[in-house]
């Protein structure tokens, strides 16, 4: 290689270096290169129509339970009730409605009220069909106090933690909690459905 060709090669290399350092994008855009792979390939899970319907039904049933529980707590804190409200009627039915109504009547008739809502966790984990599904609800009333008409705590000797196995039923397009069984527990530690 002659001195002239060597000088031309050095000057070309120097020019390319200066251009790349000065932010010239032409070379970067026009130079052949390897495509940059995505660091994490995106995988979108496919949800079948039945899985989607099951998920939507479970979400609606959980919402019905939480809505009825919130209204139940509101009524307990205000002193019970002699009949269920529209919210309770729109989210519950069957024996579950009867149990809530009975509890509200007992609180009302005794002149009691609660000082706060219960803490709850609910999971739709008990099977599914288009018209019925199962829920497990864990209810902690350990911090809830029942207060008498004079503001003193009453009904101290009671269970504080419950696991409810519930049935939600779909009627006229709406999910309602319609049946259930409850068991009192000392702790939620051994209750897998109650894990937060």
* CATH label of the domain that carries residue 120: 3.10.450.50
Q: To the nearest whole number, what is the mean pLDDT of the chain?
A: 85
**Structural domain that includes position 85:** 49-189
In the prediction, which pLDDT does 39 show?
Answer: 67
In the prediction, which pLDDT does 22 show?
Answer: 45
Counting the structural domains of the chain, the total is 1
Does residue 194 fall inside a structural domain? no
Instruction: List pLDDT tens digits, range 68-124.
Output: 999 999 999 999 999 999 999 999 999 999 999 999 999 999 999 999 999 999 999
| Stronger pLDDT, 88 or 20, i.e. the higher one | 88
Contact 184, 161 (CB under 8 A): yes
Q: What are phi and psi of 153, to 5 degrees?
A: -70, 135
By CB atoms closer than 10 A (0-12, 13-18, 19+), residue 153 is exposed
Does residue 109 fall inside a structural domain? yes
Distance CA 88, CA 90 (A): 6
Asked if pLDDT for residue 4 goes beyond 50, the answer is: no
Does residue 10 fall inside a structural domain? no
Q: Work out the average pLDDT over 2-28.
A: 44
The owner of tokens 């009333």 is: 141
Does residue 106 fall inside a structural domain? yes
Does residue 9 fall inside a structural domain? no
Q: How many residues does the chain have?
A: 196
Instruction: List pLDDT tens digits, range 27-53.
Output: 445 555 555 666 676 677 789 999 999
Instruction: List pLDDT tens digits, range 138-178.
Output: 999 999 999 999 999 999 999 999 999 999 999 999 999 99
**What region, left, alpha or beta, does residue 122 occupy, with left being phi > 0 and alpha being psi -120 to 50 degrees?**
beta
Cα torsion 100, 101, 103, 108: sign: positive
Does residue 172 fall inside a structural domain? yes
In the prediction, which pLDDT does 126 show?
Answer: 87
């Amino acid at each position: 290689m002659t001195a002239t060709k060597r000088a031309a090669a050095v000057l070309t290399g120097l020019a390319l270096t200066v251009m790349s350092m000065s932010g010239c994008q032409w070379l970067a855009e026009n130079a052949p290169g390897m495509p940059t792979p995505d660091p994490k390939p995106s995988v979108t899970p496919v949800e079948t129509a039945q899985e989607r319907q099951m998920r939507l039904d479970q979400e609606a049933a959980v919402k019905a339970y939480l809505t009825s529980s919130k209204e139940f707590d509101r009524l307990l804190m205000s002193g019970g009730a002699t009949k269920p409200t529209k919210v309770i009627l729109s989210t519950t039915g069957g024996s579950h409605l009867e149990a809530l109504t009975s509890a509200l009547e007992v609180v009302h008739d005794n002149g009691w009220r609660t000082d706060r809502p219960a803490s709850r966790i609910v999971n739709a984990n008990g099977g599914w069909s288009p018209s019925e599904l199962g829920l497990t609800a864990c209810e902690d009333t350990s911090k809830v106090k029942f207060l008498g008409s004079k503001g003193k705590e009453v009904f101290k000797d009671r269970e504080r933690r419950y696991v409810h196995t519930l049935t939600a039923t779909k009627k006229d397009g709406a999910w309602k909690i319609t049946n259930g069984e409850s068991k009192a527990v000392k702790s939620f530690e051994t209750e897998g459905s109650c894990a937060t």
